[in-house]
Amino acid sequence: MKHTQYPGRATKVAALVSVAVLGALMFASPVLAQETPAVTAGLLQAALVGLGYYLSNSPWILGIGGFFGLYRPLVAGLIVGLIFGDPVKGAQIGAAINLLYIGFISAGGSIPADPSVAGWVGTALALAGGLDAATAITLGVAVGLLGTLVFFTRMSVDAVFAHRADAAAENGDIGGVARANWLWPQIFLFLISFFPATIAVYAGAPVVQGAITTLQTDWPWVLRGFQIAGGLLPAIGIALNMRFIFRGSAIPFYFVGYVFAMLIGGRFFPGVTAPAIGTIVVTTAIVGAAAAWIFVSLRSERASGAREA
């Protein structure tokens, strides 16, 4: 986590593309919107989604309940589902979007994408547009790219409050240092997260509804493309995680894990019904924990043996 990464050209281009696409959709919405929406996003519902997005980045839910909780599309999807009156569908869409970010890791002040905005705004738009879970994934990606803008803005501007803390420290003002950490940055964060998310849901819902209706009738292959992307994109999240752990003597265990999951997942035995998703991963994790234990003990035994010799 030592190396701080600033937003690169790719982020800026991606953000611009996302803005352009969403902007074009918005201008085209009167043309695209041919039917009345099935689920309407009222201002109150949109604001609740905006509030949820802010909270997921805030310290208020035990700190840990933000980044490790509400920040995840799985949790966000459930709450958005409750807001729109369909928790089952909401959690399903959230779970699908979360697949992309299953290996998500944020280290050294950089994020590859924003799972939180994908979860909160993405689920809301998908529910409003009547999308199925697999199709919602790509919508989540597009929105998730936009979310990195909020993150990078925040990371850049918050340095101002560090200088405010310096000034307070110079005066020996303990409360001032504390406020520079929790109060001012949170007001700023609220402004840059709550309002964009609320507006995106309120203004975006009819647009997405219209666009999806048009796609379904005229360009069904685009929706199929979304589904295909849903099978490719989790590789990025997993690869990002592997960047930190896929090294040295641990490398073979990645392949062991893959083949083990495949064995119990029934792909080698056509007659065997595949167990639930969680079962495969949990079973692999238990075997993995045992393998880790054995591997570490063998290594330290060998090391102490070498010392004695």
Structure tokens at 306: 């070498």
The dihedrals phi and psi of 178, each to the nearest 5 degrees, come to -60, -45
- Between CA 150 and CA 292 the distance in angstroms is 39
Binding of another protein by 214 (CB under 8 A): no
Structure tokens at 239: 């690869």
For another protein, which stretch binds (CB under 8 A), given 37-45, 122-130, 196-204, 285-293? Answer: 285-293
Under the criterion CB under 8 A, does residue 1 sit at the interface with another protein? yes
- To another protein, the closest distance from the beta carbon of 122 in angstroms equals 14
Of positions 46, 47, 51, 99, contacts another protein by CB under 8 A = 99
Min dist CB 294 to another protein, Å, is 9
What's the half-sphere exposure (Cβ side, CA atoms, 13 Å) at 57? 31
Helix, strand, coil percentages in the chain from 3-state DSSP, rounded to 5: 80, 0, 20
Token pair, residue 280, equals 């495969």
Spell 204-230 as b/e; 16+ CB within 10 A means b.
bbbbbbbbbbbbeeeeeeebeebeeeb
Mark residues 241-280: x for contact with another protein by CB under 8 A, - for none: xxxxxxxxxxx-xxxxxxxxxx--x-xx-x-----xxxxx
Smallest distance, another protein to C-beta of residue 238, A: 6
- DSSP readout, 24-92? HHHHHHHHH--S--SS---HHHHHHHHHHHHHHHSSTTTTHHIIIIITSHHHHHHHHHHHTT-HHHHHH
What residues from 55 to 94 belong to the interface with another protein (CB under 8 A)? 58-60, 62-69, 72, 74-75, 77-78, 81, 87-88, 90-92, 94
Query: At which residue do the structure tokens 């902007």 appear?
Result: 23
Name the residue nearer to another protein (CB basis): 168 or 197.
168
* Rounded least distance, CB 231 to another protein, Å: 3
Question: How many residues does the structure list for the chain?
Answer: 309
> In angstroms, what is the minimal distance from the CB of 259 to another protein?
8
Contact pick of 24, 44, 239, 272 for another protein (by CB under 8 A): 239
Contact between 178 and another protein per CB under 8 A: yes
Q: Which is nearer to another protein, 12 or 43 (CB)?
A: 12
**How many C-beta neighbours within 10 Å does residue 112 have?**
18
Site residue total, another protein (CB under 8 A): 140
* Among the listed residues 33, 39, 186, 192, the single contact to another protein using CB under 8 A: 186
Does 140 bind another protein (CB under 8 A)? Our answer is no
